[in-house]
């Protein structure tokens, strides 16, 4: 069969027309338009190009101050021969490679260090099922109102069918003027937003400028794109900077969209219905808070993965109002968390005092330097 | 999140086109982005990206891949323009996109139409397809919705149209495609690029031309 072939794609989303394409570029040619398993080695080349400093826009923002390199492998080499230590070292080593150095350009491609750790943990667990990752199965939403941005989230984190956390905080602080809601895998949203917050803080210190929301969205996009969807973070980023109030949504594959109102997570469809119905541009703050609360409530009632309380975060040019919780769930089980008894609860029936005789044997005084 | 077999993540699932007329080009697209072929993730996404003063690109395929490629390409194009101390040619923008799409064809699912005006060759339209093919055409259509309008565009295109005729041609073609393709819709974005500059025209969904059965 000749290498040139005619491909017409008449279904599926968004593929152009390819005429007379020479397919010699793809060996063992499955249709380039069909489902290909992600070639993890191949992934490195385009994404690695984005990691190199002269191309990635995010890295241009790092002011290139050299810092010590955390060498992930050094931890492992230094570990003793004890059975448990290599596990711990690889735990930290794996984590360190992810957090390696916020000032340096991120290492290209996808880092597989943590798969090693997972394999070791799996051997340790030996047959019992591995812990399921905590997902937030969430309703998060946000909207732009007259003076700024309102972000809202529910507070349920699930691990499989069990609610792992009833008061999970899904609105993460990025900087004084920017907050980010996260849906998807809890660890991924937390780590991604933490990294972003650290990097922006450093940028702020180095440049003496407050970061723009656009910059944060761009950094998130670059980071998530580089991992090709493996980081399950569905984010809503909102904030106010000198150019006004902005709301962005960033998907796990690295797609960014700037919108006046948005919702993400498993309850997003329920929340979106409320927002679509009642959103108007330039709403007042109280109306906006009620609307976001209603949209999250729709997700809480209509989606199994969302529940418990509603958190709100109102960001304006003057101040940030982080209201946690804005609304408490009415379905608590009434259990008191504190079991403190006031003094006098236990009755005193009798008292007997026995003095202890102590004999002074030696006495030594040592002066201490106090300055 | 649903995994679409064809496109990872959010898909632009689109209808995009560009056509030259007497004195410029018109580039147009719909504004719908879908996820998994079932859910509209954005009704108002902007698929027309300005990479330089008189060069616009529109994207098709995976939204994440297309945005990443366009970010890289606009950065490189700007750098090239600064180094040459001259505005870049449209072919330069198209070539950058082609280079990225071709050398990374195993990982990327993104295609582009580049259209613009430069002093050397005037109005031009280039299409960079999924695998990295680059060709120049007087007009071109792409995206999933384009299959429904091949007949219409082939029949109705004439060389040397006026600006108004060009606008009508693109509007009609987009409206027809959006009417038949489920992953195209929203508003119609058109940009008219001439020697004077670029002008953005937005036609809301309810103002699009209606045809016999609507």
pLDDT digits (tens, 9 = 90+) for A143-178: 999 999 999 999 998 888 888 888 899 999 999 999
Instruction: Put the strands of the sheet holding B134-136 in their side by side order.
Output: B48-52, B55-61, B110-118, B122-128, B134-136
pLDDT at position A331 is 78
Distance from CA of A266 to the nearest CA of B (A): 8
With CA atoms as reference, the chain A residue closest to B101 would be A46
The whole-number average pLDDT for the span A202-213 is 90
pLDDT under 70: residue ranges of chain B: 1-6, 214
A114, pLDDT greater than 70: yes
pLDDT tens for each residue of B153-170: 999 999 999 999 999 999
pLDDT at A61 exceeding the cut of 60: no
Model confidence at A89: pLDDT above 60: no
Question: Residue A107's closest CA among A39, A52, A163, A189?
Answer: A52
Average pLDDT over residues A174-188: 94
The span from the CA of B22 to the CA of B195, in Å, is 11
Give me the CATH code for the A140-327 domain, please.
3.60.20.10
- Residue A36 near chain B (CB below 8 Å): yes
**Predicted local confidence at residue A102, as pLDDT:** 54
Say if the ipTM goes beyond 0.85: no
Find the closest chain B residue to A254 by CA distance.
B64
Distance, in angstroms, between A210 CA and closest chain B CA? Answer: 23
In whole angstroms, give the CA distance from residue B89 to residue B99: 16
For residue A20, what is the nearest residue in chain B, using CA coordinates? B133
Average pLDDT over residues A74-100: 42
Is residue B3 in a domain? no
DSSP, collapsed to helix, strand or coil, labels residue B58 as strand
Residue B212 domain-assigned?
no
> Virtual CA dihedral for A174, A180, A181, A186, nearest 10 degrees?
-50
**Token pair recorded at residue A70:** 């955390």
Report helix, strand or coil for A239: strand
pTM of the model: 0.66
Q: How far apart are CA B152 and CA B203, in angstroms?
A: 20
Quote the CA–CA distance of A94 and A119 in Å, as a whole number.
12
- The pLDDT, as a whole number, for residue A284 is 96
**Number of folded domains that form chain B:** 1
Check residues B205 and A51 and name the one with the higher pLDDT.
B205
Q: What is the CATH number of the domain that holds B38?
A: 3.60.20.10
Q: And the tokens for B132?
A: 């990295």
**Averaged over A327-333, what is the pLDDT?**
81
Q: Is residue B22 part of a domain?
A: yes
Measure the CA–CA gap between B211 and B177, rounded to whole angstroms.
12
With both helix axes pointing from N to C terminus, report the angle between B63-84 and B90-103 in degrees, rounded to the nearest 10: 130
Distance CA B34, CA B45 (A): 10
Output the pLDDT for position A342.
86
pLDDT at A28 > cutoff 70: no
**Domain residue spans of chain A:** 3-124, 140-327
The neighbouring-strand residues paired with A154 are: A310
Q: What is the mean pLDDT of chain A?
A: 76
User: Is pLDDT at A204 greater than 50 in this prediction?
Assistant: yes
Is the CB of A135 inside 8 Å of chain B's CB atoms? no
Kindly determine whether residue B106 and residue A42, on different chains, have CB atoms separated by under 8 Å. Answer: yes
Higher pLDDT residue, A120 or A70? Answer: A120
Cβ–Cβ below 8 Å for A39 and B106: yes
Mean pLDDT of A16-44: 38
Q: Retrieve residue A33's tokens.
A: 């338009």
Looking at the predicted structure, is the pLDDT value of residue A235 above 50?
yes
More confident of the two residues A329 and A64:
A329
| Farthest CA pair distance, chain B | 54
Q: Is residue B1 part of a domain?
A: no
List the 4-23 stretch of B: residues with Cβ below 8 A of A: 4-14
**Residue B170 is part of which domain span?**
9-207
Q: What percent of chain A has pLDDT over 90?
A: 47
Q: Give the pLDDT of residue A46.
A: 64
Residue A101's pLDDT band (cuts 50, 70, 90): low
The answer to whether residue A138 is catalytic is yes
Residue A36 pLDDT more than 50?
Answer: no
**pLDDT at residue A128 in the model:** 72
Position A136 confidence tier, pLDDT thresholds 50, 70, 90 = low
């Amino acid at each position: 069969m000749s290498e040139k072939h005619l491909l017409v794609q008449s279904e599926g989303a968004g593929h152009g027309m390819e005429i007379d394409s020479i397919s010699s570029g793809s060996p063992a040619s499955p249709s380039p338009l069909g489902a290909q398993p992600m070639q993890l080695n191949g992934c490195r080349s385009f994404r690695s190009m984005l990691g190199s400093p002269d191309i990635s826009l995010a890295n241009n923002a790092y002011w290139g101050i050299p810092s010590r390199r955390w060498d992930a492998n050094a931890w492992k080499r230094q570990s003793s021969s004890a059975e448990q230590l290599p596990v711990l070292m690889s735990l930290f080593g794996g984590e360190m490679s992810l957090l390696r150095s916020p000032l340096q350009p991120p290492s290209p491609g996808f880092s597989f260090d943590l798969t090693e750790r997972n394999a070791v943990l799996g051997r340790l667990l030996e047959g019992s099922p591995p812990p399921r990752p905590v997902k937030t199965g969430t309703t998060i939403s946000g909207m732009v109102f007259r003076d700024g941005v309102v972000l809202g989230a529910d507070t349920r984190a699930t691990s499989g069918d069990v609610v792992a956390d009833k008061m999970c905080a899904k609105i993460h602080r990025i900087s004084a003027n920017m907050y980010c809601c996260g849906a998807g895998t809890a660890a991924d949203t937390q780590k991604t937003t933490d990294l972003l917050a650290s990097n922006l803080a450093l940028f702020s210190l180095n440049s003496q400028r407050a970061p723009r929301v656009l910059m944060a969205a761009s950094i998130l996009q670059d980071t998530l794109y580089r991992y090709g969807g493996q980081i399950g973070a569905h984010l809503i980023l909102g904030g106010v900077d000198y150019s006004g109030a902005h709301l962005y949504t960033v998907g796990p594959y690295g797609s960014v969209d700037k919108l006046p109102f948005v919702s993400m997570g498993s309850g997003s469809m329920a929340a979106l219905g409320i927002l679509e119905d009642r959103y108007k541009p330039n709403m007042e703050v109280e109306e906006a808070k009620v609307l976001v609360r209603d949209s999250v409530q729709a997700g809480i009632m209509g989606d199994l993965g969302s529940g418990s309380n509603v958190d709100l975060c109102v960001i304006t040019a003057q101040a940030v109002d982080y209201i946690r919780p804005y609304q408490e769930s009415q379905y608590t089980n009434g259990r008191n968390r504190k079991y403190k008894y006031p003094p006098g609860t236990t009755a005193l029936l009798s008292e007997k005092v026995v003095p202890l005789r102590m004999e002074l044997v030696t006495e030594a005084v040592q002066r201490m330097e106090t300055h | 999140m649903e995994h679409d077999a064809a496109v990872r993540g959010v898909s632009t699932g689109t209808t995009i086109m560009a056509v030259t007329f007497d004195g410029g080009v018109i580039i147009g697209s719909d504004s719908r982005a879908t996820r998994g072929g079932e859910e509209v993730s954005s009704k108002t996404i902007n698929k027309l990206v300005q990479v330089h003063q008189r060069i616009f690109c529109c994207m098709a395929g995976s939204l994440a891949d297309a945005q990443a490629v366009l970010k890289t390409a606009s950065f490189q194009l700007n750098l090239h323009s600064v180094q040459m101390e001259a505005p870049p040619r449209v072919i330069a923008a198209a070539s950058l996109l082609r280079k990225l799409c071709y050398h990374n064809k195993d990982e990327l699912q993104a295609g582009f139409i580049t259209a613009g005006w430069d002093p050397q060759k005037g109005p031009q339209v280039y299409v960079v397809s999924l695998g990295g093919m680059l060709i120049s055409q007087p007009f071109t259509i792409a995206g999933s919705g384009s299959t429904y309008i091949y007949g219409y565009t082939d029949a109705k295109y004439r060389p040397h149209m006026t600006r108004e005729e060009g606008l009508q041609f693109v509007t009609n073609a987009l409206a027809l495609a959006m009417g038949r393709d489920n992953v195209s819709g929203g508003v119609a974005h058109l940009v008219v690029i001439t020697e004077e500059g670029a002008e953005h025209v937005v036609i809301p969904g309810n103002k699009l031309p209606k045809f016999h059965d609507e």
